[in-house]
Amino acid sequence: MTERRGLFITVEGGEGVGKTTNLAFIADQLRCNGVAFVQTREPGGTPLAEQIRALLLDTRSEPVAPMAELLLVFAARAQHLQQVVQPALEAGKWVLCDRFTDATYAYQGGGRQLNQGAIGELEQLVQGSFRPDLTLLLDLPVAAGLERAGARGELDRFEQEQLAFFERVRAVYLDRARRFPRQFRVIDASGPLSQVQANIEHVLARVLGEAGARS
Ligand code: Z5A
């Protein structure tokens, strides 16, 4: 991976934590502060990667082998990095991304119980040393998140998983936040939206201040 100048911010969390709602808020904050940025998502972000996303989320009668799922996630990521993320960062833009490799550790490692070492090897192969500069982890007890998400209607292939799957997803996210404190900021997503967004604003103000001081 080549040198980058913009910041790479990812937003993570389990079901119903409010990612979509808060991504719009974060994008507004960046806009108000005059930051040039690209908003994107994983899996997806390019036409090919969006096709892989559809393969991953569609419910189907054929069971999907966890290893096939893992490889599809990284195939989409390789395409997304080359086509969207790296060019934007190299052009000095920031990238705001809905999920990234921490989701792979959480869903394929935690949820599907695939070996974390195998995920690490693929991470190294696809990304080298490339990691997010900042990850906002929206955290919420699983039952509360599923209740919020349940109000949305039809469930995709991941949303149809059981409680224990999502408990493992949350545990891996929180474990990674503890292990990588420079990358992660954990946002308590259980309170009212105004409170969640005040916390996000506080974190972003620091990041924007530090980025301003560097430029
Ligand atoms: N996946 C994977 O397995 N491996 C990988 O490496 C990657 C992804 C990258 C698609 O992700 C799937 O891909 C995902 C993991 C897998 N699994 N699933 N499902 P996605 O990000 O597109 O899907 P999602 O998890 O469903 O995200 P979402 O659409 O952003 O949902 P959300 O976090 O629940 O956000 P929301 O729609 O904003 O909030 C849900 C509801 O809660 C909504 O009615 C809000 O108005 C409400 N809400 C939000 N905040 C609050 C507060 N504070 N109080 C009360 N109500 C609130």
pTM of this prediction exceeds 0.85: yes
User: Distance from the CA of 146 to the center of ligand 1, in angstroms?
Assistant: 10
Question: Percentage of the chain with pLDDT > 70?
Answer: 97
Q: Could you tell me the residue range of the domain that residue 140 belongs to?
A: 8-214
Examine residue 149 and state whether it is found in any structural domain, yes or no. yes
Query: Per the domain annotation, does 105 fall within a domain?
Result: yes
Residue 15 resides in a domain = yes
Sequential pLDDT tens for the chain (215 residues): 555 579 999 999 999 999 999 999 999 999 999 999 999 999 999 999 999 999 999 998 899 999 999 999 999 999 999 999 999 999 999 999 999 999 999 999 999 999 999 999 999 999 999 999 999 999 999 999 999 987 777 788 888 888 999 999 999 999 999 999 999 999 999 999 999 999 999 999 999 998 875 66
What are the pLDDT digits (tens) for 149-165?
A: 877 777 888 888 889 99
* Best probe residue, ligand 1, of 50, 56, 148, 156 (max atoms within 8 Å of C-beta): 148
> 176 and 102 in contact (C-beta within 8 Å)?
yes
Owner of token pair 């599907």: 112
C-alpha 197 to ligand 1 mean position (Å): 16
Q: What is the pLDDT of residue 156?
A: 86
Any idea what the CATH number is for the domain that residue 151 is in?
A: 3.40.50.300
- Taking the centre of ligand 1 as the mean of its atom positions, its distance from the CA of residue 172, in whole angstroms, is 17
Q: Give the pLDDT confidence score for residue 1 in this predicted structure.
A: 56
Mean pLDDT of the chain: 94
Residue 2 lies in a domain: no
User: How many domains does the chain contain in total?
Assistant: 1
Specify the residue with its C-alpha closest to ligand 1, atom 45.
18
Kindly report, residue by residue over 178-211, the tens digit of the pLDDT. 999 999 999 999 999 999 999 999 999 999 998 8
Closest ligand 1 atom to Cα of 156: 19
Q: Per the domain annotation, does 3 fall within a domain?
A: no
pLDDT of 61 reads 87
ω into 43 cis (within 30 of 0): yes
> Residues enclosing ligand 1, CB less than 6 A?
13, 15-21, 42-43, 73, 98-99, 103-104, 107-108, 148-149, 151, 156, 158-159, 189, 192-193, 196
Q: Which atom of ligand 1 is nearest to the CA of 53?
A: 13
Distance in angstroms between the alpha carbons of the first and the last residue of the chain: 22
pLDDT value of position 7: 97
